[in-house]
Amino acid sequence: MIFFAILAATIISYIFFKIHVANYDKNPESNVYDKYYVMITDNYKSDFWQAVYKSAFEEAKAENIYLDLMGEKLTNAHTVEELMRMAIASHVDGIIVYANEQTGMTRLINEAEEKGIPVVTLYGDNTHSKRISFVGVGSFDIGRKYGRQVIDIINEKKQKTDGKGKVQISVLVNTEMQDPAQNIIVLAIKETVKQLNAENTDFIINTVPVENQNPYSAEETIRDLFLQDEIPDVMICLNELDTVCAYQAVVDYNRVGDVDILGYSDSDKIISAIDRGVIYSTISIDTTQMGEYCVDALNDFYNFGETSEYYISDIELINRENAAEYSAKESADE
């Protein structure tokens, strides 16, 4: 019974999306567009994806192309794979998708290519597929930045404790992402800490699997860490959701100052938490650059028949020293 209800909801959403695709060029504001691209993410509501989409939308609009963020106009929530099937069946002109290495995603990307729809993978890649380009970040560089922050924290804690005790570092990894990028980040963290640990402080780095299917599962996993006998001294988050959940848990369990959070993303909430000393630092991705790269990759494919295989966006570390400066810069840009 539940299966048929889900199937009915998917069909209804698909029909709604099909009508939207058929009528998008009837809108007086969009009837000049030459092509129709879609962007598919795992959570279109997040600040990170909204920022990437905003940049990509403006880049596409400048080229007389309409870019839709799939999911916003549908009545029900759908997985990335379900949205991919809708986009393929609707014969859009290009797909930008937050991918993974699962075989189901490989089949969907290859199906799109066989039907003449170029696919750009965004942030998460599918290396075995026929995608035309991947737009992401340098995972090793991210890991190195986290590692240097860990060393700073270790040195600070050593001064407070006279070097007694082992520093425990937990890296929160997304169980839904079969992505080697996470492994590269963790490897870079370990290598960097080992190389820069001049004081030979005793430390241990472990990974904690977190289900990111919804905010509740992530929140539950992270809160469980604070119910253990020994909580981590450093908690490294590799996405925006985990960062917010970790920040909230530290506040709720009155552990501010006991657990140092290394975050991900630069939402107003995260920057504010850095300014107040709740989050130690965060990694910021150039979402403007990332959005522009996605559209450029599709346009290059249509204009020249080829495109660069990899586009790597810039990253920046934000801490208490530059948080105020970063916020002022963002306000000025808006």
Per DSSP bridges, beta strands 94-97 and 35-40 are: parallel
pLDDT category, 9, cuts 50, 70, 90? very low
Whether residue 329 has pLDDT greater than 60 = yes
State the pLDDT at residue 146.
97
Q: Which of 125, 70, 66, 123 is nearest to 289 (CA)?
A: 123
pTM of this prediction? Answer: 0.84
Domains in the chain and their CATH numbers? 2-131+287-314 (3.40.50.2300), 139-285 (3.40.50.2300)
**Mean pLDDT over residues 55-64, rounded?**
97
pLDDT category, 24, cuts 50, 70, 90? low
DSSP character at residue 179: -
Whole-Å CA distances, 171 to 105, 210, 220, 237: 26, 10, 16, 6
Whether residue 186 has pLDDT greater than 50 = yes
State the pLDDT at residue 271.
94
Rounded Cα gap, residues 269 and 170, in angstroms: 22
Kind plus residue range of the DSSP H or E element containing 194: helix 180-196
Rounded Cα gap, residues 194 and 142, in angstroms: 16
Helical H runs in 35-79? 47-61
Share of the chain above pLDDT 70, in %: 85
Rounded Cα gap, residues 183 and 134, in angstroms: 18
Query: What's at 269, amino acid-wise?
Result: K
- Answer whether 188's CB lies under 8 Å from 147's CB: yes
Per residue in 278-301, pLDDT (tens digit) is 999 999 999 999 999 999 999 999
State the pLDDT at residue 162.
61
- Answer whether 205's CB lies under 8 Å from 171's CB: yes
Per residue in 258-273, pLDDT (tens digit) is 999 999 999 999 999 9
pLDDT category, 12, cuts 50, 70, 90? very low
